[in-house]
Chain A
Amino acid sequence: MTRFSATLRSEWTKLSSLRSTKVMLACGLLFAVALSALLALVVGNTWDDWKPSDRRDYEPIGAALIGQLASAIFFLVIGVKAATAEYGAGMMRLTLTATPRRGRVLAAKALVVTAVTLAAAVVCNVAMFLVAKAILSFYGIETTSLADTGALRAVLGSAALAPLFPVIGLALGIALRSTAATIIAVLAVIFAPPFVGGMVPESWQGDALEYVPMAAADAISIGHLPDTAAGLSPALGAVVVAGWLAAFLGGAWAVFARRDA
């Protein structure tokens, strides 16, 4: 019996044998660190002109992790491509001939995308944090150490949640089969709720916006930071994130298992 570990190894071989994966990861790291460093340089350069109240409000942990805006895009593309790259030329048929259990293919892809983006995010986040801290300390601004609980929760918590959108991208990619359509769909998942929410009277929206994937993820990783609006508790956030993952992957599986390949 061909085992799940075989499917897992196969999906890993697929991802690691493409130069584009390595390019995406390298770009993610590079742009993330560059963005965080740039912000730290701007802060360091202008610090002497800051008002005392601005200095008090400055939140160095979140600022150091600003580079995630860049790395998240590259990680997302890795997740989406893990699905859609197989549909361009019809390679999915070969995949499903080798592994006819479709749920197993989807699960292996999700695990490999999770592992790769998680590992990359840990490296990126730690690098961003240390580089930003080093730059600020060069300007004589002392910030929290990485060993500090609050800092560690933000750095590693954000890394732990970095696979969320790549896996959602994978699920949508399996369902939609086109790279462009999938990227647009993921962007809609990220940006549509706050955008639409902004147009609806607050009395109507209640706390619904706290339950969207991005906000639930933030509740876990950076909910403790002072400038983050208090949302869900970390535990409830984790439940909500797990629920979203189950919903997207379950939906993808339902389509994938029934559709002619």
Chain B
Amino acid sequence: MIEARGLTKRYGDTVAVDGLTFDIRPGVVTGFLGPNGAGKSTTLRMILGLDRPSAGSVSVGGRRYRDLAAPMREVGALLDAGAVHGKRTARAHLRWLADAGGLPRGRVEEVLDEVGLSDVAGRRVGGFSLGMSQRLGIATALLGDPATLLFDEPMNGLDPEGIRWIRTLLQRFAAEGRTVVVSSHLMHEMEETADHVLVIGRGRLIADTSIPEFTLRAAGNHVHVASPDAAALGALVERAGGHVSPGGDGALTVAGLAAPRIGDLAAEHGLRVHELTPRRASLEAAFMELTEGSVDYRPEVPA
């Protein structure tokens, strides 16, 4: 169980995390979603006691991280798979961590085996591929066999097989009753991995809900419209309060206006409609809609 109450982080005038309040429960995989720069990593660092909150608090199992009696046995984290000394072997890297946590050296071989790195344990980590580094990072998180696992973008650099592997691993950990948090900016990854999502944008909590509810929230709000009179229809829809974006191949994607209303509008103005399809939103689309306006840096879309 991770509890955040009004968790805030300011850097000068910039508010990176803005009054987050949430509970992350054990037994499910919780996806921590947000565009790059939304404050996900900063929040994870505050959970781990690495960054000091400007206001508010966050606790793991009822205690501040730095007050945990045996942190590695309670929380395992993968923040940055590249945060290793490249001249050390994978085994030596895990050994200093095991020593720091007062864990038996035998755990090192166990986690190496679990993530499939036993064969390269004696190799220096500087020569590891991105996928191997990611596996080593996961091994570090698993060392203390902790009840809470935090993974920052764990699927980065993994091939499809690796992604399937970690997805199964995460779901198994949750089924074992652990608290599992996975951050990502890639929504479709989370759709099949997480049971619950916390969505943040510009440091604020946008949604704290289950995956089915999250997608439902935006379902029906998107309508795919193909029309030879797309420009005219688009303008009408906008005037009626809909939001129009290009849907590919000259089609329109309309949000905020239901399909029957769009059909009626077209009929009233004698515009032709070739296709009018309500689309169940993907997590990705729901996310885009929810975080609209909360993205700091957006490329200009040519008109």
Contacts and interface: CB of A to CB of B under 8 A. Distances in A.
Main secondary structure of the interface of A (DSSP, over half): helix
Given A93-B79, A100-B49, A2 B72 contact: yes
Contacts of B100: 2, 6-7, 9-10, 95, 98-99
Interface in B189-221: none
A91 B49 contact: no
Contacts of B92: 13, 17
Contacts of A93: 45, 48, 50, 79-80, 83
Contact of B71 (A2, A85, A88): A2
Interface in A94-144: 94-101
Contacts of A258: 52
A83 B229 CA distance: 67
B286 interface: no
B101 interface: yes
Contacts of B95: 13, 17
Interface string A71-100: 000000000000001101111011111111
Interface size, A (range): 20 to 34
Contact of B45 (A6, A11, A18, A261): A261
B113 interface: no
Contacts of A17: 88-89, 92, 95-96
A14 interface: yes
Interface class of chain B by DSSP: loop
A13 B98 CA distance: 10
Given A17-B92, A89-B84, A1 B79 contact: no
A1 B70 contact: yes
Interface residues of B, number: 34
Nearest to A99: B100
A31 to B, nearest CB: 22
A260 B45 contact: yes
Interface in B77-116: 77, 79-80, 82-89, 92, 95-97, 99-102
B102 A3 contact: yes
A20 B99 contact: no
A94 B71 contact: no
A98 B68 CA distance: 11
B101 A89 contact: no
A100 B68 contact: yes
22 contacts: A1-B70, A2-B71, A3-B102, A6-B100, A6-B102, A11-B96, A17-B88, A17-B89, A18-B87, A20-B87, A88-B85, A89-B82, A89-B84, A91-B84, A91-B85, A93-B45, A94-B84, A97-B79, A98-B71, A99-B100, A100-B66, A261-B45
